[in-house]
Amino acid sequence: KTTWGECAIVPMNIDFIILAAGKGTRMGGDSPKVLADLAGKPMLQHLVNTVEGFANSKASIIVGYKSKEVEQGIVSSKKLNFVNQSKQLGTAHAVKQSFPFLRKNSVSVVLYGDAPLVSKNTLNRLIKSASQGNLSLLTFIKDDPTGYGRIIRDTKNRIQKITEHKDATSTEKEIREVNSGILAIKTDILLKLMPSIKNNNVSKEYYLTDLVEIAIRNSLPVTATICDPYEVGGANNRQELHDLERLYQKRKGEELLEKGTIIADTSRLDIRGDIKIGKNTFIDINNVFTGNNVLGANVVVGPNCYISNSTIKDGTIIYANTVIESCLVGKDCKLGPFARIRGETELSDGAELGNFVEANRSNIGKRSKAKHLTYLGDAKLGKRVNVGAGTITCNYDGKKKHKTIIEDGTFIGSNSSLVAPLTLGEGSYTGAGSVITKNVPKGKLAVGRGKQVNLTKKK
């Protein structure tokens, strides 16, 4: 982790320039690299969320390769300024595209769309340093620095220049301190130095990294701070993205532990999106959470569950291999093992859906239970309903979906087929194995099955 402590917000205008125009050939495939998924969000989205948190700030996002796709792939509470770089002639050329939108009295902060996890605190430090007149860079140590720009320092450890891998000598290639790409500089200085950047290098590209040598030639102070590679390292290829994802998940798990969640194994937990978890909640191994999830206190999530965009309230137990998508689960409920609930199904407090039970677009009232092998689709269950094993709501007639209403205290016999639309009145019963096609009045027992006959076999 960086050695920097907390830093107060810098009271200065900030112009973020986010570079996102490249294809990302090393990532493979045709999709723009900056849309590659990290913990359930495009890499670029992480940066957009971070810069949203800065007051007095504006952001220009430089797009080029599949720009429409990039624009559509990003959401923001603020209006985003996408700027087109029609030919990707290098990182300096990309920064130049933002010039019409920069404010002269601001600090410019350059972020690379493929280095998504830089923290607000680190950026604040960087901006503070730049506001004092420095060209300020963030670097990190990489054991295999292949492909990265090397940080060249003199004997007094002062930074001299950045040499790109392709242009580096064999001794320079030995250097393990590499450029993250992230830098900050006062905008008026940036505008003065940029025209000196030329493309006389192996790649024939305009390198933003040449800014370092140019600044030093103009006697401007340059600072380079070595940071946590997790924060500034980013991802150029699938292996790096994989490593970043694993590290992200491990740290997310550790962050939750710190806040009082009990986690069986932080290396076997994936949180792809945002999550809030109450105290003393236990998460067993191999769970995947996607989208926005809220878990209360004292919840138990057994192994191998998939939970997406759902709220689960205090004291609920989710047994192994349960799938919950877009649902609201009340307090002290029991789900699974092997339950699947989806389609905005709501469970009131104390409800239970057991093994091999599926519920879709349904409401399960207080303390109602379906404990085995049941399908509840478009069903509304009142309080204390008991649904026997093998019950099916036949909600679809081939054209339309229909509702099944099961009022308070009803008892559904095992293996009942409830042909919707249908209402089962309060405290009614169905006999096991019945096919129920007509409404059942309050308190009645409905039997809809062939009568048993016991025949004597002819000899």
Decide whether 29 or 343 has the Cβ nearer to ligand UD1.
29
| Least distance CB 188 / ligand UD1 (angstroms) | 22
Nearest 5 degrees, angle CA 94-CA 97-CA 98? Answer: 105
Check residue 228 for interaction with ligand UD1 (CB under 6 A): no
Q: How far apart are CA 17 and CA 58, in angstroms?
A: 9
Choose which of 10, 14, 34, 117 interacts with ligand UD1 (CB under 6 A).
Answer: 34
Whole-number Å distance between alpha carbons of 295 and 275? 8
Q: Which does 271 bind (CB under 5 to 8 A by kind): Ca ion, ligand UD1, none?
A: none
Find the binder of ligand UD1 among 31, 108, 136, 209 (CB under 6 A): 209
Of 124 and 236, nearer to Ca ion (C-beta) is 236
Q: Enter the tokens of residue 370.
A: 């379906």
- Rounded CA separation 457/451 (Å): 18
Minimum gap (Å) between residue 24 Cβ and ligand UD1: 6
Least separation, in Å, of the C-beta of 91 and ligand UD1?
Answer: 4
Question: How far, in Å, are 263, 277, 385 from residue 259 at the CA level?
Answer: 11, 9, 38
Judge whether 372 counts as a catalytic residue: yes
Measured CA to CA in angstroms, residue 98 lies from 34, 178, 188, 199 at distances of: 18, 25, 13, 19
Those residues with Cβ within 8 angstroms of residue 365's Cβ, 6 or more apart along the chain or in another chain? 348, 351, 381, 382, 383, 384, 385, 408
DSSP 440: B
* Residues of this chain, 63-102, that bind ligand UD1 according to CB under 6 A: 85, 88-91, 93-94
The active-site residue out of 46, 165, 372, 402 is 372
Q: Judged by CB under 6 A, which of 16, 54, 140, 148 binds ligand UD1?
A: 148
Least separation, in Å, of the C-beta of 200 and ligand UD1?
13
Can you name the residues that pair with 135 across neighbouring β-strands? 222
Phi, psi of 380 (to 5 degrees): -125, 110
The entry of Ca ion, ligand UD1, none near residue 88 (CB within 5 to 8 angstroms by kind) is ligand UD1
d(CA 164, CA 453): 89
Total residue count of the chain as it appears in this document: 459
Which of 34, 446 has the CB closer to ligand UD1?
34
Q: Which residues pair with 185 in a beta bridge?
A: 108
**Residues in 305-344 that interact with ligand UD1 by CB under 6 A:** none
113 binds, among ligand UD1, Ca ion, none (CB under 5 to 8 A by kind): ligand UD1
Q: Could you tell me if 281 and 262 are in contact, meaning their C-beta atoms sit under 8 angstroms apart?
A: yes
The 2-21 site mask, x for binding ligand UD1 (CB under 6 A), equals: -----------------xxx
How far apart CA 156 and CA 277 sit, in angstroms, is 49
- Positions touching Ca ion (CB under 5 A) are 114, 236
Placement of tokens 């290396």 in the chain? 267
Minimal distance, residue 157 CB to ligand UD1, in Å: 19
Closer Cβ to ligand UD1, 112 or 319, answer by number: 112
One of 57, 236, 293, 355 touching ligand UD1 (CB under 6 A): 236
Task: In whole angstroms, give the CA distance from residue 100 to residue 90.
Answer: 18
Closer by beta carbon to ligand UD1, 7 or else 216: 216
| In the block, residue with structure tokens 């609201």 | 328
Among 54, 207, 230, 319, which residue sits at the site for ligand UD1 (rule: CB under 6 A)? 207
Chain residues that interact with ligand UD1, rule: CB under 6 A = 19-22, 34, 62, 85, 88-91, 93-94, 112-114, 148-149, 162, 164, 178-181, 207-209, 234, 236
Residue positions annotated with a catalytic role: 372
